[in-house]
A and B are shown apart, each in its own frame.
Chain A
Amino acid sequence: MSLNQKYQKHGFDVPEDYFNTLENRLLENTPELGTPHSKRTFIRMNKILWVAAAAAIALVFWWIPIDANNPEPNQRQLTQDTPVESEFLDQDEDSWTQYAELHLSAEDFIPILTPDDIDLLLADSQEWDELSKQSTNNEYLFEEFNLIP
């Protein structure tokens, strides 16, 4: 005797088609049964989206101060070395000269000098030598003859 018959013998019954429809009713009443782990997938997707959003925001914050005045990243890179250098570059020509004197050596300029510039510098240099010699002579004269200019 089956379990069903055993119970029916004592007056217990079930609706017709009860066992044929239970599966559908379960799936209808509980949508999660049809899509297992949907919640976990949703959380995982959310995590991915949050990470992507955070990365995008970080990128924007990194980019904005760099590119505020200059649309070309390569040129901009020259100005982003240190904040001190950027400050100098943003100031007028005098400041640039001061900065060059303080931080740059002659080698830094050689690649950007034209042959004419070099000739001019050498000529200046010769003139300076002459003046130096003259100055030395004058000093000698001052000492030797107590001459007061």
Chain B
Amino acid sequence: MSQIEEAILLRELCDAKTRERAFKTLINIYQERLYWHIRGMVLIHEDADDVLQNTFIKIFRHIDSFKGQSKLYTWMYRIATNEAISHLKKSKKTISKSLDDDQSNLSQRLQADPYFDASRAEDNLGEILSKLPNQQRLIFSMKYFQDMKLKEIADLLNLTVGGVKSSYHLAQKKIKTMLQNQTF
């Protein structure tokens, strides 16, 4: 989307008369990219769907406060990321009451997800991802699936580039080891 198109869309989003139509356009343009961004973090389709819907509702409610200091997509990406992190934190709290290991729980839930088919996968990356700590999984997904730059990831997650680099390398190392040993 060009800067001009984005400016027009923004103007329509801020106008009560054209807001609904503009919002539909916004959903159609960005839903897929945002969904996969979220799915890479939460892994389960049902959770990704919830987080995506919450993301769009927040975008709609707060579009008036978007100051245009960044690209619209970057702003939406940040909302989606925050929503996904918040979702993971909430699940961790719920899980910690019954299970000590939230990673193993995520892994079990992923196995039960009807929209995850390990048999069709070329490798076991999906399952391996479910075994990683949240932050390492987030960073690895952003870098590997979405080709994001380390600086962009650092900005989105409010981390230093060094911190992101270190988490990414740790995740990469663990994934390599698990793929080689098939220990998951």
Which A residues have a C-beta under 8 Å from some C-beta of B?
3-4, 6-15, 18-19, 22-23, 25-26, 29-30, 32-37
Q: A12-B45, A30-B57 known; 16 other A-B pairs, CB under 8 Å?
A: A6-B145, A7-B145, A9-B122, A10-B122, A10-B125, A11-B116, A13-B45, A22-B31, A22-B53, A26-B53, A30-B60, A33-B56, A36-B16, A36-B20, A36-B23, A37-B19
Tell me if B20 and A12 are in contact (CB < 8 A): no
Asked whether A12 and B115 contact (CB < 8 A) given A6-B145, A33-B60, the answer is yes
What per-residue 1/0 map shows which CB atoms of B133-167 lie under 8 Å from chain A? 00000000000011000000000000000000000
A9 and B144 alpha carbons, distance in the complex (Å): 13
- In the complex, which residues of chain A have a beta carbon less than 8 angstroms from the beta carbon of B19? 36-37
For residues 39 through 95 of chain B, which have their beta carbon under 8 Å from a beta carbon of chain A?
Answer: 39-40, 43, 45, 49, 52-53, 56-57, 60-61
Tell me if A33 and B116 are in contact (CB < 8 A): no
Tell me if B33 and A3 are in contact (CB < 8 A): yes
A35 and B60 alpha carbons, distance in the complex (Å): 11
- In the complex, which residues of chain B have a beta carbon less than 8 angstroms from the beta carbon of A35? 20
Q: Chain B nearest CB: distance from A1 CB in Å?
A: 10
- In the complex, which residues of chain B have a beta carbon less than 8 angstroms from the beta carbon of A9? 121-122
**B45 contacts which of A3, A10, A14, A22 (Cβ < 8 Å)?**
A14
A26 and B23 alpha carbons, distance in the complex (Å): 11
* Interface presence of B97 (CB below 8 A): no
Tell me if B115 and A19 are in contact (CB < 8 A): no
A34 and B56 alpha carbons, distance in the complex (Å): 13
A–B complex contacts, Cβ < 8 Å, 30 sampled? A3-B146, A7-B40, A7-B145, A8-B120, A9-B122, A10-B123, A10-B125, A11-B117, A11-B120, A11-B125, A12-B39, A12-B43, A12-B116, A13-B115, A13-B120, A15-B115, A18-B35, A23-B27, A23-B28, A23-B31, A26-B56, A29-B53, A30-B60, A32-B61, A33-B56, A33-B57, A36-B20, A36-B60, A37-B16, A37-B19
